[in-house]
Each structure stands twice: as C-alpha cells, then as structure tokens.
C-alpha cells in the first residue's frame, strides 16, 4: 500500500522502549494506537492493543507486522537504531525522522558543525580521552544512549569508556532543560520548555539518568530567542519532520544545546497537561501535510506548573495483582492519571528498573517537587520497595 492511501488513517502504530505517553497523546488527538514496547504496562494495555518486545529493539520490525496497516512512529530510544527504522519504513509510512537523517542528526560532530555554521554554540567534543583533563570537567558519553544512561564525568582510565562506542563532551554548568519542537519543511515551532530532573536520589535514579520533568518553564527573552535560533538551524540543516526535542543547559541567559532527540520525548506529556497541547495531532499534521501550528496555538492553563517523576526500584519487586488493580482504580474518573506506566500484575521489577511514573501540579517549582517526593514515597511503600526509604 502506498503512503498516500493510508495518509488519513485514524490508526497509528507506536513503538519504543515505552509507548504509554505517546499512545495516550494519540488517543487525545483522535487516533487509535497500536503499540509495541519493553513493558506492556497495564494502563497501556487498557487503552490499546500492545505487544511486549522481549528482545528490544531487534524484534520491533517483526512485531509491527502484527499491527493494522497504518502510519507508524517511534519513541525513545529507537532513534539509535536507524537500520530498524529503515526496515519498518519499507512496509509502512513513517511519521517522524527517517533513517538517513538519523545517521546525521545523532552524530554530535555533525550537529556541532551545523550549529556553528549558524553562529551558534555547542560544547567542545573529543573522540578519544587522550590529553583531556581528568577533573570531571569532561563527560564520557556513549553514542547509542537515551535517558541519560551511559554518561559519567571523565576522571581517568575506565575500561567501560575505552571503546569506540563512546565520545567526550566538555561539561557545561547550568540547569538541565528540554525543549519540544515540531518541524516541517525546514521550519520549527517551539511547543514548550521544561526543567529536567536528572539523577534525583529520591526517585532512585543515579548519575545523569532522566527522572522526570517540571514545566512549562518560561525562559528569559534572550534565551528564548537563542533556543528558537538553534531549532531553526537544526531544521534547516537536517530537515527534521515531526516532534523533536533539544536537551540543553541554561547557564544564566546562555543556552547550550547538548543533544537532539529526533522523536516524541518524555517531557511532551507535561506540556500537554499544562497547555492543552495535542502533540500527536501536530506531529501527524507536520509529517502528513507539512503543516505547523501558529505560534499562538498553545496557552498556559491557570498558570499552573506540572511535574512527573519516574520511580526506580531499589529492591527486587514482584507486583501482586491487588496492587496493580489498586493503582489502576486510582485513576478512574480522572481526566489525567496521577500514576502511569503501571506494571502488569505479577511483574518482576529488577533493581534499577522503572516502577511507575507519578504526576502532580502546583503553583511553584518547589511545590511540585515536594508533591512529587510525597507521591514517590507513597508509591514506594505501596509496592513494597521500602528499604530505599530507610
């Protein structure tokens, strides 16, 4: 079937490490999602058909053959596997960044060169650690990573970093932030900015691991303009289509882009909660029709901040059916869930794995953080991961 024959299909196939947030966004935008991901969580299964990818991501091209013929999109960290993106796209139209483009935009040197051609900054890079200081002022990063995993300060020879799978980036001080854009035809529209929760001990995260988002974040005027310039440059150079994210550090008014995430990102649902944004609607419009929203389409609701935090397991957990049922029941009658990514009954959750995601809203960043900490503690006690609290 040619892409044109399914371009207005109400169905969409979504694959990635976790598909729940994108599936919920698709439903709100009027689509019927079919999903394949690592977890097959209970709340995802309650909203659509889902398959568990036991050998991630290698089984994705095979699993998606079970989906109704429709456009497809991916979430993290499928962008690290352009070969699978190409294989799946050979059988159905892709709504998102294609495989050849991924090869370029996921290369930090190409991103750095593209931005510098437009007079924009990017932290210094090195392919090998020789001659680098060992004082933690540089980061060792794996090429194929997502969610802040496989990143660590460089303090000297470590066997796990001495491979061609890693590169090195100068560390920049500042607040961890993420911006969400939608792109088409070489142009970009900013949908919103959030502050990222990185390695927060109270979530069980370590190092640079992504643990949640709070937003929307209002930037200083100069920072906002610089962020728009960065996205315009990226879209001009790489012709990104659909939703994409820019992780950056905000240092005073300076904006330092760190990484481009060319797909639906984890912070999108916070912007959706806060603004009424229908992200998958605009993703589809950009990919299908090269249509972007007007700049004024998104408005903040009641000046409230929204936050999410991912709870990571400290202990080995087996979730009893009653706990899964209680968590699902707690979301009944709610427009937005307070707990999501709910594991299926009798799920085995290893130490370091995500248990679930909690959400709160408040009048300030501090109030949201306090609410998230309270929700995390309550959830940890409910699932029996209490050793962490002691």
How much is the pLDDT for 4?
33
Global confidence as pTM:
0.93
pLDDT of 214: 98
Q: Name all domains of the chain by residue range, CATH numbers in brackets.
A: 3-95 (3.40.50.20), 103-121+173-289 (3.30.470.20), 125-170 (no CATH), 305-389 (3.90.1170)
pLDDT, tens digit, for every residue of 49-100?
999 999 999 999 999 999 999 999 999 899 999 999 999 999 999 999 999 9
Instruction: Identify the pLDDT of residue 150.
Output: 81
Give the model confidence (pLDDT) of 15-49 as tens digits: 999 999 999 999 999 999 999 999 999 999 999 99
E strand spans, the chain: 11-15, 32-37, 49-52, 72-74, 125-126, 138-142, 151-153, 166-170, 175-184, 187-198, 210-215, 242-251, 254-261, 305-312, 317-318, 339-340, 348-349, 354-362
d(CA 310, CA 290): 34
Enter the DSSP assignment of 182.
Answer: E
Which residues make Cβ contacts (< 8 Å) with residue 177, sequence separation at least 6?
Answer: 193, 194, 195, 196, 217, 247, 248, 249, 250
Mean pLDDT lowest for which of 15-19, 86-90, 276-280, 355-359? 276-280
Q: What pLDDT band is residue 5 in, cutting at 50, 70 and 90?
A: very low
Instruction: Determine the pLDDT at residue 245.
Output: 97
Grouping H, G, I as helix, E, B as strand and the rest as coil, residue 57 is coil
Cβ neighbours of 231 (radius 10 Å): 24
User: Can you give the pLDDT at residue 7?
Assistant: 41
Q: What is the pLDDT of residues 296-344, one digit of tens each?
A: 556 655 578 999 999 999 989 988 999 999 999 999 988 899 999 999 9
Beta bridge partners of 51: 36
Q: Identify the residue with better confidence: 202 or 8.
A: 202
Cβ distance 341 to 266 under 8 Å?
A: no
pLDDT at residue number 156: 79
List Cα–Cα distances, 182 to 40, 51, 202, 240, 242, in angstroms: 27, 28, 32, 8, 5
How far apart CA 103 and CA 81 sit, in angstroms, is: 9
Mean pLDDT of 357-361: 98
């Amino acid at each position: 079937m040619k892409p044109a024959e399914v371009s207005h299909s109400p169905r969409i196939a979504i694959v990635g490490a976790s598909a729940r947030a994108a599936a919920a966004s698709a439903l709100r935008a009027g689509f019927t999602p079919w999903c394949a991901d690592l977890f097959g969580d209970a709340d995802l299964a309650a909203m659509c058909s889902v398959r568990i990818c036991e050998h991630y991501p290698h089984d994705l091209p095979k699993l998606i053959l079970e989906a109704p013929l429709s456009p497809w999109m991916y979430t993290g960290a499928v962008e690290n596997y352009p070969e699978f993106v190409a294989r799946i796209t050979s059988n159905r139209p892709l709504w998102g960044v294609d495989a050849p483009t991924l090869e370029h935009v996921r290369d930090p040197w190409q991103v750095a060169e593209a931005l510098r051609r437009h007079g924009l900054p990017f932290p210094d890079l090195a392919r090998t650690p020789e001659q680098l200081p060992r004082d933690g002022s540089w980061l060792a990063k794996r090429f194929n990573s997502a969610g802040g995993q496989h990143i660590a300060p460089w303090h000297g020879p470590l066997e796990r970093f001495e491979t061609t799978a890693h590169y090195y980036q100068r560390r920049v001080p500042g607040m961890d932030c993420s911006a969400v854009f939608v792109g088409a035809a070489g142009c970009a529209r900013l949908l919103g900015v959030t502050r990222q929760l990185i390695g927060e001990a109270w979530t069980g995260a370590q190092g640079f691991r992504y643990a949640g988002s709070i937003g929307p974040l209002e930037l200083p005027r100069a920072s906002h303009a610089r962020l728009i310039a960065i996205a315009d440059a990226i879209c001009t150079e790489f012709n990104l289509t659909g939703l994409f994210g820019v992780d950056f550090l905000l240092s005073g008014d300076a904006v330092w882009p760190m990484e481009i995430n060319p797909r639906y990102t984890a912070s999108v649902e916070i912007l959706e909660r806060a603004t009424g944004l229908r992200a998958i609607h605009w993703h589809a419009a950009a990919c299908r029709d090269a249509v972007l929203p007007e700049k004024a389409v998104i408005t903040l609701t009641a000046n409230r901040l929204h936050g999410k935090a991912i709870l990571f397991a400290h202990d080995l957990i087996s979730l009893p059916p009653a706990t899964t049922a209680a968590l699902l029941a707690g979301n009944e009658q709610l427009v937005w869930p307070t707990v999501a990514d709910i594991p299926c009954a009798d799920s085995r959750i290893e130490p370091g794995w995500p248990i679930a995601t909690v959400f709160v809203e408040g009048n300030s960043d501090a109030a949201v953080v306090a609410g998230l900490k309270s929700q995390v503690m309550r959830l940890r006690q409910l699932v029996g991961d209490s050793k962490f609290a002691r």
